[in-house]
Amino acid sequence: MTGETAPGEDGSPKVVFQNVSKSFGAIEVVRDVSFEIHDGDFIAVVGPSGCGKTTMMNMLAGFTKPDGGAVLLDGRPVAGPGPDRGVMFQDYGVFPWLTVEKNIRFGLELAVKRGMTKAQKNETVEKYMAQMRLTDFRNAWPKNLSGGMKQRLALARAYAANPRFLLMDEPFGALDAQTRSDMHDLLLEIMQAERKTALLITHSAEEAIYLANRILVVSARPSRIVEEINIPFGDNRDRDLLDSHEFIELRRHLRDVVMKQYAEQQALR
Amino acid sequence: MQRLIEFGWRLLPFAVVILIWYAVRWSGVVDQGLLPPPHLVFLDIWKRSTEGTFLLDAWVSIRRVLLGLFFGMLLAVPIGFLIGWNRTIRRFVDPLVNFFRALPPIALIPLAIVYLGIGEVAKVAILFYAAFFAGVIVMYEGMSQINPLFIRVSRTLGATDWEVFYKVILPLTVPHVLTATRVALGVAWATLVASELVAAQNGLGAVIQNASAFFQLTTIYAGIVAIGTFALIMDTMLRMASRRFLDWQERVVQ
Ligand SMILES: Nc1ncnc2c1ncn2[C@@H]1O[C@H](COP(=O)(O)OP(=O)(O)O)[C@@H](O)[C@H]1O
Ligand SMILES: [Mg+2]
């Protein structure tokens, strides 16, 4: 829909963080971070809170600009937010003044989507509403939805706008364990149906391993990438995986690495 | 049935106040001549309405309030919006708004009389002033509370500046407009009566003022009850509008 063809089809990186640095006043938050995101990647970023993960994501989303280095998207520096990069936040960001259906429709009624016909828009809304199991609640106000439903709504709304990227900032952090794991499976399901290149910020080692194909462990502030872990499970993810020997080993390792960084971040306070 | 009970609950406090009124009168704590009984007050309202100009006075007052409120809010909404939105404008205007808001509108009545005479224009101007400053402050405090998250989300969905404005900011402004109008309405009634007490040939404030000159206590009470009733009716109407338009809010403005 965006019209641009991604130079990522051949496997060249779509997103490049090139020696990115960022400070807020005297606080250096990100220092000389470099990494690449390839077409179809699902990257999880794990690190202690306050270390600068949200700041990194915001630079890709286009909410803030780096002080040094560059965040490149298809070879060009990110200029601002845009419909090619959908974002999910921990506190949902669902529009409270719109019903479930109108929330999903919001992105489709904007000028950027004027190329779509009315029928295409309706079809898109119905499709994602059904996929996120929200059809029965189409006329409900967000205030009457549970946390899990709000996050499903946010996901449906993001997908309806048909972005190439899905950026998620601790989207499941506020949910209870059961809802969280349902959300994981729902996310995997929609990702398998329609692949997006994804960046997920999370605190949970388990969540990162279960969802991502690559994990970046970020240090205490100022954040650098201390370790990159490849997750070898491919599309083969279900609940049984959680009990596998390989999964448990990976989780142990990731927790060790992260715990060390947590300890350093604590010392910073 | 449910609605009848609900309505009964609304009236109950007033019934209790009237009972206490009778009780105070009969207990003899206050000289009976200084406290007319409620039924005589209502009778006075009835007689002055059917035989006198009471209804006309009420209408004159209501019209002044509505005009002042209308023009006040007409300006308060866009100005409050601008102040709430733009930090530079806010820094410049904030001290001024606070100065003029702290100034009781009643203090301007003599000035208004000097410049605008004692006609309708002077009264509406004072009410405009009162409604504007009450409204503008509620507007811009509400505006500055708008969650930037919603703006970010709409940007990531592809909204242009104009779309952010009318699809996100505008709907989020509606609750504040309604709250500001309610606050301004209360201030407008208070100011109206004061301005009519000082200089007016008609209106409910003038009715009270004239009655006071002739020591007609019953009529003074009649005027007060009428003012309270009309103010309450208008406020209730605004509250009903809020409930209708702001169904989506977590907590409807009560
Ligand atoms: N807009 C801002 N102004 C000033 N400081 C900020 C701003 N945004 C983030 N920070 C600071 O930068 C640090 C990293 O923040 P953030 O990226 O939100 O961390 P994380 O998402 O990893 O928890 C924190 O110490 C935070 O206080
Ligand atoms: Mg964060």
For A18-83, the DSSP string reads EEEEEEETTEEEEEEEEEEE-TT-EEEEE--TTSSHHHHHHHHHTSS--SEEEEEETTEE--S--T
Closest atom, ligand 1, to C-alpha of A64: 1
* Predicted local distance difference test score (pLDDT) of residue A182: 92
pLDDT at A268: 67
One domain for residues A119 and A41: no
What range does the domain containing A148 cover? 90-162
Tokens 């400070």 identify what position? A23
- B11 lies in which domain range? 1-35
Name chain A contacts of B146, Cβ cutoff 8 Å: none
- Per-residue model confidence as pLDDT tens digits over B162-216: 999 999 999 998 888 898 899 999 999 988 888 887 777 889 999 998 998 898 9
Q: What pLDDT is attached to residue A9?
A: 52
Q: Which residues make up the environment of ion ligand 2, defined by Cβ < 5 Å?
A: A 54
**Which residue among A89, A109, A111 sits closest to B149, beta carbon to beta carbon?**
A89
pTM summary value: 0.83
Query: Are B6 and B65 members of one domain?
Result: no
Instruction: Please report whether residue A266 resides in a domain.
Output: yes
Q: Which among A162, A188, A220 is the end of a domain? A: A162
Q: Are residues A6 and A132 in the same domain?
A: no
Looking at the structure, tell me whether residues A29 and A76 fall in a common domain: yes
What is the structure's pLDDT at B251?
64
B150 touches chain A (CB under 8 A): yes
| Residue ID of nearest Cα to ligand 1 atom 17 | A52
CA–CA separation, A226 and A235 (whole Å): 26
Taking CA atoms only, the protein residue closest to ligand 1 atom 2 is A24
Instruction: Tell me what the mean pLDDT of segment B141-169 comes to.
Output: 92
For the complex shown, is ipTM > 0.90?
no
Degrees, nearest 5: CA angle A144-A148-A154: 85
Instruction: Note the pLDDT tens digit of each residue in A19-62.
Output: 999 999 889 999 999 999 998 899 999 988 888 899 999 999 99
CA of A169 to the centre of ligand 2 (A): 7
- Nearest ligand to the C-alpha atom of residue A46: 1
Instruction: Give the pLDDT of residue B252.
Output: 45
Indicate the pLDDT class of residue B254, thresholds 50, 70 and 90.
Answer: very low
B114 falls within a domain: yes
SS3 A226: strand
**For an interface test with B, which of A63, A110, A165 has the most B Cβ atoms less than 10 Å from its Cβ?**
A110
B177 touches chain A (CB under 8 A): no
Give pLDDT tens digits for B12-44. Answer: 999 999 999 999 888 888 888 888 999 999 999
Cα–Cα distance, B108 to A182 (Å, whole number): 64
Ligand 1 pocket mutation, candidates A22, A27, A64, criterion most atoms within 8 A of CB: A27
Task: Look at residue A104 and tell me if it is in a domain.
Answer: yes
Please check whether residues B19 and B65 belong to one and the same domain. Answer: no
Q: A157 — contact with chain B (CB < 8 Å)?
A: yes
Mean pLDDT, consecutive 10-residue stretches, chain A (269 aa), reads: 45 85 91 91 91 93 94 92 94 94 96 92 95 94 93 95 95 90 92 92 92 92 87 82 88 88 74
Looking up residue B44, the CATH number of its domain turns out to be 1.10.3720.10
Query: Number of C-alpha atoms within 13 angstroms, CB side, residue B164?
Result: 19
